[in-house]
Amino acid sequence: MVERTTAGWPRAIVFDLDGTLIDSAGDIADVLNVCLHEEAIAAFDEPTVVTMIGGGARVLVERALVRLGRRDDEALLERLNHGFTQRYEALGAGRSKPFPGAIELLAKLAGEGVAMGICTNKPAAITARVLDELDLMRWFGAVIGETPHLPRKPAPDMVLATLAGLGATPPEAIMIGDSGADIGAAKAAGVKTIAVSFGYTTTPVRDLGADIVIDHFHEAPAAIARLR
């Protein structure tokens, strides 16, 4: 059961993870490039990998193969996807870290009685390990990562599952994310949206259709207030 929030605050806020709460692009690029090296394929630079993040590990690999001109190489796709998932889970948090202001925002929301959840296309096991190692798990009442049982964002299912775990309904919630998948999933679920401009989207963030865009987490409390 979610405790009653302070007046003016939503009952629940759902966060995306990569590109929203944490900067994990370096780890994702490192692991992908190790897998490519094993296939005798040249590495991508980190800014290029950033353009391929979003949608989960398999989508990352699919986008890499498109850039390599090997879109239809199913055997390579399976090897890279398997290798990436295994190595990324073993790595844990690596050099990933929360974005500036993230911890302060989480503490503020917790103090106001807002229930918080994670909804990410990152595989569930990897998500749990990263949150544990970054000491972030303690803030969240529900964590939903990629699983065979739920369609990935931008389908609304993962957002709705997160809200169910928090005991909140879509009208009582706000989603904070950085990508079209996040904003699309939230809108499909009937949830108001805030997009961060410092994430990994290749689409201009102000074209994602979010209700509000913020450039730093210190802007989040005012943005949340505007949506209530």
What is the CATH number that goes with domain 12-23+96-227?
A: 3.40.50.1000
Q: What is the pLDDT of residue 7?
A: 65
What pTM was estimated for this model as a whole? 0.91
* 154-178 residue pLDDT tens: 999 999 999 999 999 999 999 999 9
Active-site residue among 16, 18, 23, 178?
A: 16
In angstroms, the CA 93 to CA 127 distance is: 9
* Cis status, amide bond into 156, omega within 30 of 0: no
What is the CATH number that goes with domain 25-91?
A: 1.10.150.240
Mean pLDDT by 10 residues, the chain (228 residues): 65 97 96 97 96 88 96 96 93 96 98 97 92 97 94 97 98 97 98 97 94 98 94
* Residue extents of the structural domains in the chain: 12-23+96-227, 25-91
**Domains 12-23+96-227 and 25-91 fall in the same CATH topology:** no
Query: Is 16 in the active site?
Result: yes
